[in-house]
Structure 1
Amino acid sequence: MNNHNKLYIDGQWVESTSSHWLDVINPATEEVITRVPAASREDVDRAVQAAAQAFDRWANTPASERRALLLRVAELMEVRRDELVDAVTDSLGCPRHITGWLHVEGPIEAFRLFAEHASITEETAEHGHSLVWREAVGVCGFINPWNYPLHQFVGKVGAALAAGCTMVVKPSEQTPLQDYLMAEILHEVGLPAGVFNLVPGHGPEVGQGLCEHPQVDMVSFTGSTRAGIEIARACAPTVKRVTQELGGKSPYIITEDCDFTAAVRYGVDDVMINSGQTCTALTRMLVPAGRYDEALEIIRTRVGEIEVGMGEGAFMGPLSSMRQWQQVQDYIQLGLDEGATLVCGGPGKPEGQGQGFYARPTVFAGVTNAMCIAREEIFGPVLCVIAYDDLDQAVAIANDTPYGLSSGVYARDHTAALAIARRIRAGLCFVNGGEFNYQAPFGGYKQSGNGREFSIHGVEEFTEIKSAQLGVPAQ
């Protein structure tokens, strides 16, 4: 991968018109490992123009050809799997042995699944004297996050390619490396020039430039709710379609009669994986008051087993940046100031981890849902344990949040768990330890965003629906 110093526009690696650069820092070593251009508004315009010129041809490419190309992308991702793993590991700080299954294998599968939905634009339905079909929405601007950078890249790019859209992609400033690899892969498979364009840079230049550009038809954003609000405002004057996957403060209801040890340990792992930098993390664990102390003992045992570092035995790597580390430290201190009881962890770095943005896996007890640590997204390895008296109260606590991205229920069986899940206002529910599924839609309610990613529903987001009303045939 030798193109870090370029942008990818109109099928070519080109120089940026900007003289500014973005340092890419390894969170485990705090060292600069490379740098990429911080593109300008002029660069954004060049990329959008290329995407606009390529749109008609790509949107009208037969679905069979789009399908074959997406499958070839998945094949090359397999070939370059180790490079993708290195790219995410080096810039995000996830331990390498975890990066493969957490950050790379799923996106490869997702690309294959998107290929099977390319025919969506060639399906026509009859409704009385009308025909109804879907067409590609147009030129898309993608603003991607740093916490699951390849996952979210594929969720947007794979779906948009299947639907026949063209695009300009802005990777996160912190984790652009896997996007460069994907640009090389897309170039190698023969994607027509202009269909995919890669323009890294700062939000005010590249992100806002995409939102305000009159030839961008749709913007898809993954990030904080605060930033999502600004994205929506910037897109409003040109009436773009906007899809957003935003923040979360997800509840996890554990029932009295479930496999309690398995349920509690699952909840701890869900929060601590990826160093807590997961939008769907089940950061509010709701346990029956009668088993509260038992839950805390299980938590202490599991947290005590967690190794922090980058070695083969590590479960948690560093946080993504010094800024993120400081934010987590501030919230841990806030929890102490609010009167929550520290069960595990606390401020500072783990013992023996002087270098790198490492945080201690932290658990608070005695938490009420009125506390800031229970209401605001910390985005770090911090778990809040909340007691409830009955299931009605548990559901009320679960829904007492401005967010609605994810949730979890662990009950005696699926029937009992699903009855609770249906009462939780969230777009996703992990039932009895269920795993993420790329064949199911992903997205949230309320201030967790709008729209869905992955599955056929994710492809539908990148289409417009057209109807044709048929007159009486001439005699």
Structure 2
Amino acid sequence: MKNITKGYINGEFVTLHGTQIFNLINPTNHQPVGQVTLGDEEDVQRAIAAAKTAFKSFSQTSVATRIQLLENLKQAVNKREKELIEVMILEYGGTRQFCTMSLQNAIASFDNMITTLRHFEFQRKSGNTFIQLTPVGVVGIITPWNSSNSFICSKLATAIAAGCTVVVKPSEMSALQTELLTACFHEAGLPKGVYNMVNGLGNVVGTAITNHPDIAKISFTGSTVTGKQIARSAVDTVKRVTLELGGKSPNIILEDADFEQAIPQAVFGAYMNSGQACIAPTRLLVPKDRLETVNQLAKAAAAHVVVGNPADAATNVGPMVSEKQFERVQHYIQVGLDEGATLLAGGPGKPAGLEEGNFVKATIFTNVRNDMRIAQEEIFGPVLSIIPYENEEDAITIANDTMYGLAAYVTSANEARALKVASRIDAGRVCINGFKHDPMAPFGGFKQSGLGREFGVYGLEEYLEPKSILL
């Protein structure tokens, strides 16, 4: 069992002023794997002071210097990729498939930002005016537990590219992962104060970061409820805010699609990251007159979903991150039954032989109405709702009938038709004919799925302020 007692402030691991202890529990078997000491307001103040001091010089660094730092970070994280994957499986319970992909994305985020930086114009002209894009200042980075290190790497890479310094508050449930990642950053030789990290609770450390006047910007990934709280607090000091929040992503299967391929793909897609993914396509919209065929295909696909030990390469769905999250998913499964949806696969309780961990059965409801809670509220677990539609127009209406707008998916034999449908979906990212990722394309949500964008040029500009100089 590992005992984590330090944060990372001004280029070194330091003992925290906070004394509260948080227990780290393996979600696969409920065995303790560590303890972490949580920081407090005083620790946050020290971290912000270090970042503020470092910003004075770091904001003036050249593009070449920042590119070299990003390259150093990439090499340091890449060197310990296997360790980072294993600790993520242990602490988070993510499947080996997902954790491997997540770490690969984390490493690639440095390369992606290097590519962006090489072609980015920090000095521009608009009319007769000289425009400088200047770093916004000290950035508070607040990340969730469902892909912790990947989020930290991506946000840090963007901040460094912009010339910003950061104070990171990761999820307290990700402390083992964060400590190892921070060791990588330390080995990379970042200038003192550029990266600072304080473990702690959201209502203590997160609040202290959000309320501090020396934090110029908040970059947050997490729930919509917490995002709203951060936005409200940030208003007092008019902080810049980037929020990547929840989702209830529709997956529209048009009637001309290859159902034999599209439906199994849809089922496995809904269970990405064991269902604990904001972009998971958890609403499957299908033609009403094909519902029986869809039900048969979906049920057959669910039978091939492997729920089990996340360390096994064949596992598709691991445990929920905590008992609290397990209970949340169980509650929604019962809600689906109470609302009158038809249970097609899975259901309440744990799979046989997996009683010791936070495991949920791979669950599918069909004959779901879009006004049901299981179709409107983010469950964050392996629960798929199949919703029949009358025609294409009805499918679009159902897809947009949600407070969320993070991601969406459209499948059709006719790409031009799919593109036309995609253009009418209220979502920040729409994938056509499969699950795709482009780390250079802007990522973020419409409606209550967030504010601002991440990745590439659009993400970098969120960390910069345009200054007009009239000559």
Shorter chain as denominator, the TM-score bin is over 0.9
Corresponding residue of 1:16: 16
Is 1:173–1:201's contact at 8 Å kept on the other side of the alignment? yes
1:89-147 Cα deviation digits (max 9, x unpaired): 1111012244212x111111111111223357763222232111211110010110011
Is 2:274–2:320's contact at 8 Å kept on the other side of the alignment? yes
Corresponding residue of 1:53: 53
- Following the alignment from structure 1 to structure 2, what is the Cα–Cα distance between the partners of residues 315 and 59? 44
Give the TM-score of the pair, scaled to structure 1.
0.96
1:363-398 Cα deviation digits (max 9, x unpaired): 001110110110000000000000011100000000
The reply to whether residue 456 of structure 1 matches residue 461 of structure 2 is no
| Runs of 4+ in structure 1 over 6 Å off | none
Corresponding residue of 2:305: 306
Corresponding residue of 1:252: 251
Give the counterpart letter for 1:94 in structure 2: G
Give the counterpart letter for 2:224 in structure 1: T
- Following the alignment from structure 1 to structure 2, what is the Cα–Cα distance between the partners of residues 151 and 160? 14
Which runs of 5 or more residues in structure 1 are unaligned?
471-475
What is the CA-CA distance between 1:361 and the residue it aligns to?
0.5
Give the counterpart letter for 2:55 in structure 1: F
- Following the alignment from structure 2 to structure 1, what is the Cα–Cα distance between the partners of residues 460 and 400? 29
Corresponding residue of 1:160: 159
1:250-301 Cα deviation digits (max 9, x unpaired): 1110011111121111111111121100000111100011111111111111
Moved more, 309-318 or 120-129: 120-129
User: What secondary structure does 2:407 align onto?
Assistant: coil
Is 1:413–1:432's contact at 8 Å kept on the other side of the alignment? no
- Following the alignment from structure 1 to structure 2, what is the Cα–Cα distance between the partners of residues 230 and 464? 24
Is 1:74–1:112's contact at 8 Å kept on the other side of the alignment? yes
- Following the alignment from structure 2 to structure 1, what is the Cα–Cα distance between the partners of residues 22 and 437? 32
1:21-61 Cα deviation digits (max 9, x unpaired): 22221110111211222101000000000000000211111
User: What secondary structure does 1:107 align onto?
Assistant: helix
The reply to whether residue 183 of structure 1 matches residue 182 of structure 2 is yes
Is 2:120–2:457's contact at 8 Å kept on the other side of the alignment? no
- Following the alignment from structure 1 to structure 2, what is the Cα–Cα distance between the partners of residues 95 and 125? 45
- Following the alignment from structure 1 to structure 2, what is the Cα–Cα distance between the partners of residues 434 and 27? 27
Corresponding residue of 2:31: 31
Task: Describe how 1:361-400 pairs up with structure 2 within 5 A.
Answer: 361-400=362-401
Kindly tell me the number of residue pairs found equivalent between the two proteins.
469
Corresponding residue of 2:138: 139
Which runs of 5 or more residues in structure 2 are unaligned?
none
Is 2:22–2:172's contact at 8 Å kept on the other side of the alignment? yes
- Following the alignment from structure 1 to structure 2, what is the Cα–Cα distance between the partners of residues 268 and 194? 45
Give the counterpart letter for 1:322 in structure 2: E
Is 1:248–1:405's contact at 8 Å kept on the other side of the alignment? yes
The reply to whether residue 445 of structure 1 matches residue 446 of structure 2 is yes
- Following the alignment from structure 1 to structure 2, what is the Cα–Cα distance between the partners of residues 168 and 120? 27
Is 2:3–2:34's contact at 8 Å kept on the other side of the alignment? no
User: What secondary structure does 1:404 align onto?
Assistant: coil
Moved more, 405-414 or 340-349: 405-414
Task: Describe how 1:235-314 pairs up with structure 2 within 5 A.
Answer: 235-310=234-309, 311-314=312-315
What is the CA-CA distance between 1:87 and the residue it aligns to?
2.0
Give the counterpart letter for 1:451 in structure 2: G
The reply to whether residue 418 of structure 1 matches residue 414 of structure 2 is no
Change in Cα spacing, 1:115 to 1:177, as seen in structure 2 (3 Å) is farther
- Following the alignment from structure 2 to structure 1, what is the Cα–Cα distance between the partners of residues 163 and 314? 43
Corresponding residue of 1:94: 94
- Following the alignment from structure 2 to structure 1, what is the Cα–Cα distance between the partners of residues 160 and 362? 39
- Following the alignment from structure 1 to structure 2, what is the Cα–Cα distance between the partners of residues 309 and 361? 11
- Following the alignment from structure 2 to structure 1, what is the Cα–Cα distance between the partners of residues 442 and 160? 17
The reply to whether residue 112 of structure 1 matches residue 102 of structure 2 is no
What is the CA-CA distance between 1:2 and the residue it aligns to?
8.3
- Following the alignment from structure 2 to structure 1, what is the Cα–Cα distance between the partners of residues 293 and 176? 44
1:291-318 Cα deviation digits (max 9, x unpaired): 1111111111111011111223211110
Corresponding residue of 1:473: none
Is 1:121–1:134's contact at 8 Å kept on the other side of the alignment? no
Change in Cα spacing, 1:434 to 1:276, as seen in structure 2 (3 Å) is closer
- Following the alignment from structure 1 to structure 2, what is the Cα–Cα distance between the partners of residues 279 and 65? 34
Is 1:121–1:163's contact at 8 Å kept on the other side of the alignment? no
Is 2:2–2:35's contact at 8 Å kept on the other side of the alignment? no
Corresponding residue of 2:216: 217
Give the counterpart letter for 1:286 in structure 2: L
- Following the alignment from structure 1 to structure 2, what is the Cα–Cα distance between the partners of residues 127 and 455? 22
User: What secondary structure does 1:116 align onto?
Assistant: helix
Change in Cα spacing, 1:20 to 1:73, as seen in structure 2 (3 Å) is same
Is 2:3–2:35's contact at 8 Å kept on the other side of the alignment? no
Corresponding residue of 1:358: 359
- Following the alignment from structure 1 to structure 2, what is the Cα–Cα distance between the partners of residues 450 and 417? 26
| CA RMSD between the two structures | 1.5
The reply to whether residue 402 of structure 1 matches residue 403 of structure 2 is yes
Is 1:325–1:357's contact at 8 Å kept on the other side of the alignment? yes
Change in Cα spacing, 1:57 to 1:118, as seen in structure 2 (3 Å) is farther
Is 2:266–2:281's contact at 8 Å kept on the other side of the alignment? yes
Corresponding residue of 1:82: 82
Corresponding residue of 1:231: 230
- Following the alignment from structure 1 to structure 2, what is the Cα–Cα distance between the partners of residues 5 and 82? 24
- Following the alignment from structure 2 to structure 1, what is the Cα–Cα distance between the partners of residues 154 and 318? 24
User: What secondary structure does 1:88 align onto?
Assistant: helix
User: What secondary structure does 2:236 align onto?
Assistant: helix
1:410-435 Cα deviation digits (max 9, x unpaired): 01132221111000000011110041
What is the CA-CA distance between 1:3 and the residue it aligns to?
8.3
Corresponding residue of 2:339: 338
- Following the alignment from structure 1 to structure 2, what is the Cα–Cα distance between the partners of residues 399 and 351? 38
